[in-house]
Amino acid sequence: MSEKHVRLGFLGSPNSGKTTIFNALTGLRAKVGNYPGVTVERREGKLRKSNKNITLIDLPGTYSLQPISSDEEVVSSLLTGHSEGNSVPDGLVLTVDACSIERSLLLVVQALRLGIPLCLTITMMDELKARGGQIDLEKLSSALGIPVVGVVGNKGIGLDKLKNLTQNIEEWQVPILPPPSKTQELSGWIASVLSRGGYEAPEKDRRSDRIDRILLHPFWGSLAFIAVMLFFFQIIFTWAEPAMDAIDFGVNLLQLKVENIVKPGLLRSFLTDGVLAGVGSVIIFLPQITLLFAILAFLEAVGYMARAAFVVDRAMGKIGLEGRAFVALLSSYACAIPGIMAARTVPSPRQRLVTILVAPLMTCSARLPVYTLLISAFIPRDISVGPLGIQGLTLFGLYLGGGVAAFLFAGLIKKFVVKGDDLPFYLELPPYRLPQLKVVARQVWDRASSFLKRAGTIILSVAIILWTLMTFPETDFPDGTPEVLTKKMAIEQSFAGRLGKTIEPVIEPLGFDWKIGIGLIASLAAREVIVATLAQVYAVGGEDESLREAMEKDKNPKTGRKVFTAATVGSMLVFFVFALQCTSTIAVMRRETNSWRWPLFAFSYLLLIAYSASFLTYRIIYAITENSS
Amino acid sequence: MSLIPLSKLGIGKAGTIKRVEDDGVISRRLADLGFLPETLVILSRKAPTGDPLCFELRGSQMCLRRKEASKIWVEVE
């Protein structure tokens, strides 16, 4: 028996319920990937419990098949046979929300023009009835000349009928007359199809309207927006922490276990400081990614995400972005990794790229240990401006500085670097609906696993490369050398240590010495690593009091002055505000933009800004403190 | 009966689209979203800052910025 392989495309506008049907038909085995060259997600799965070999392709939700962006071109070129390596689907299943069928028929018209066998699935029939509307699916089917099935995806209603239909695409009815080709005739054609389909428009969605009266109220709506965003921010910041601590603890435990089993030496160091630390640095992001996408998927499914974008759009418009970019930038305040991944919700490829490029400027939580160390050690505790201590003010200033810089550079990058046309802004406010746990869970799972698979491998390899740089070449120590000293000498002799010394002339204008240089190189793994590296270089066991003391006492052998002057500390803080010292962010950027070009650009422009700003800070503080002393 | 741009419609007021300024990409997409001649549009609400605007048309709530909405001309009573 020769079995023909059938491919079936799933088409529909956003919020039509298409993905619920797709999930119900394919089960949990759908493969998530990417279309080549773009960020558009590609989801494919085999039809469950089918006699035939049928592949379902979940096409990205769209209002139109006439592309106006590179993302949308993916769908249209797939459907017109211009997509490399993808043949045109043998049939299309177009999902339409019964309540907005008056609009969705515009998409149906475009799908009919493709000449591919087409079948409609109508969702939200219960909502249509509840709102006093009506439609007769059989009459609609004969009016359009194509098969029409009513489906309630989460309750399984109509799925069997749809599945039976997919078995015999060649028997699908095709329309005798093509739909009109002139825009002027569309309104009339749709009205006539609907009247022949026994359609009566639903009344206004009173429940959504009542909720919107509060959530989109000029005053209460703004307040609600701020409350939701604060809550959202608080959750990814604090709820993720116990899980992150637990992961940290687990990795430490494993490292200890390995240390008990494996003899001291290269293998042990590779296993604990290379592999385990690397794996740890990948999975440490999972709690935040999972939480972020759980909340995003929930807010999206309820219908609030669109409202949030609506409320904040004008402010974002000032820097050339749009409402949907806000959440991505806000998330980056916790960590740029989930923030950059959240930029997918921005439909314009140009604005999405800008959002991704400035996300690392938002003050992520990995900068906090560095800020805390420097501030608590070098910013006087007892000076205050009014009721506010200068320590707190400095921290606040650093946080604010990152945010302001992100907004500033978003505008600049959009104007000078990422050129091209903007998409017109449009946003549908879907009716408020109860989210389905399955859909939310599915989305979170897809995101987390794609992060592990794609970014995780890069992060792990970089961690191992950094381990190599910090371990080789090895040095021999006389027996009985204290461990803190061997550690200090090992890192000084390593490639990373030598590199730190080599770059000293380059970073000297910023007030940094080679010890800070080593710290900067090590912090490429993750910003907070600089704290542990400095502890290692200063040969202190702990990372807190003793490190602070050692840093305070340290003097430059050439000048006899303290290394950590006010100018150097200020310069270092400013450097951390701007520099993209996070290979995980670079890895995720690479994954989300599908090229090395943009992560390299981000790394370079941020390094340039960091360098210049640090230099200025150093010079200014130096001038002030020199004059006053 | 008079023609006004959609961006000048009052909250809760309705108009019938008569003309969409041809702007290539933008007018094409507006048509795909349902902003077609002879379509009834109601301005359902404005964002707290006054922009974007949310319109009810063809059974959906679609938001546009004033800039795009001003290209759509509607007839009001």
Q: Give the model confidence (pLDDT) of A153-207 as tens digits.
A: 778 889 999 999 999 888 898 887 788 888 888 889 999 999 999 999 999 889 9
Q: Is any Cβ of chain B less than 8 angstroms from the Cβ of A182?
A: no
Is A253 within the bounds of a domain?
Answer: no
Q: Is any Cβ of chain B less than 8 angstroms from the Cβ of A416?
A: no
Distance from CA of A18 to the nearest CA of B (A): 17
Is A624 within the bounds of a domain?
Answer: no
Whether A484 has a pLDDT exceeding 90, the answer reads no
Residues of A in contact with B52 (CB under 8 A): 310, 313-314, 425, 427
Mutation site, A11, A13, A103, A225, interface B, largest B CB count within 10 A: A103
Q: Which residues contact A505 (CB under 8 A, 6 or more apart)?
A: none
Amino acid at the residue A498 = R
Contact assessment for residue A572 and residue A611, using Cβ atoms and an 8 Å cutoff: no
CA nearest B17 in A: which residue?
A187
Contact assessment for residue A521 and residue A492, using Cβ atoms and an 8 Å cutoff: no
Q: How far, in Å, CA of A472 to CA of A258, rounded? A: 21
Q: Does the distance separating the beta carbons of A187 and B37 come in below 8 Å?
A: yes
Q: Is any Cβ of chain B less than 8 angstroms from the Cβ of A99?
A: yes
- Degrees, nearest 5: CA angle A564-A547-A280: 115
Predicted local confidence at residue A561, as pLDDT: 84
Is A83 within the bounds of a domain?
Answer: yes
Interface pTM (ipTM) of the complex?
Answer: 0.95
Is A559 within the bounds of a domain?
Answer: no
The winner for highest mean pLDDT among A559-563, B19-23, B41-45 is B41-45
Q: Does the distance separating the beta carbons of A310 and B47 come in below 8 Å?
A: yes
Distance from CA of A522 to the nearest CA of B (A): 46
Global confidence as pTM? 0.85
Mutation site, B17, B19, B29, interface A, largest A CB count within 10 A: B29
Between A488 and A610, the more confident residue is A610
Domain count, chain A: 1
CA nearest A185 in B: which residue?
B37
CA nearest A102 in B: which residue?
B58
Q: How far, in Å, CA of A216 to CA of A222, rounded? A: 7
Whether A39 has a pLDDT exceeding 70, the answer reads no
Q: What residues 203-232 of chain A have any CB closer than 8 A to a CB of chain B?
A: 204, 208-209, 212, 216-219, 221-222
Is A178 within the bounds of a domain?
Answer: yes
Q: Does the distance separating the beta carbons of B62 and A106 come in below 8 Å?
A: no
Q: Give the model confidence (pLDDT) of A276-320 as tens digits.
A: 888 887 888 888 888 888 988 899 889 999 999 999 999 999 989
Nearest in space to A300 (alpha carbons), one of A430, A388, A170 = A430
Helix ranges restricted to H, chain B: 25-32, 66-69
Which of B25, B47, B52 lies at the smallest CB-CB distance from A68? Answer: B25
The phi and psi torsions of A439 (rounded to 5 degrees) equal -65, -45
Nearest in space to A464 (alpha carbons), one of A384, A525, A509, A420 = A525
Distance from CA of A104 to the nearest CA of B (A): 8
Which of B25, B34, B63 lies at the smallest CB-CB distance from A427? Answer: B63
Nearest in space to A96 (alpha carbons), one of A166, A159, A37, A148 = A148
Q: Give the model confidence (pLDDT) of A376-399 as tens digits.
A: 888 888 887 777 788 888 888 998
Cβ neighbours, 10 Å, residue A371:
20
Is A21 within the bounds of a domain?
Answer: yes
Domains in chain B: ranges and CATH:
2-76 (2.30.30.90)
Is A132 within the bounds of a domain?
Answer: yes
The domain in which residue A180 lies consists of 6-203
Q: Does the distance separating the beta carbons of B28 and A66 come in below 8 Å?
A: yes
Which CATH number characterizes residue A132's domain?
3.40.50.300
Q: How far, in Å, CA of A264 to CA of A474, rounded? A: 13
Q: Does the distance separating the beta carbons of A429 and B59 come in below 8 Å?
A: no
Is A502 within the bounds of a domain?
Answer: no
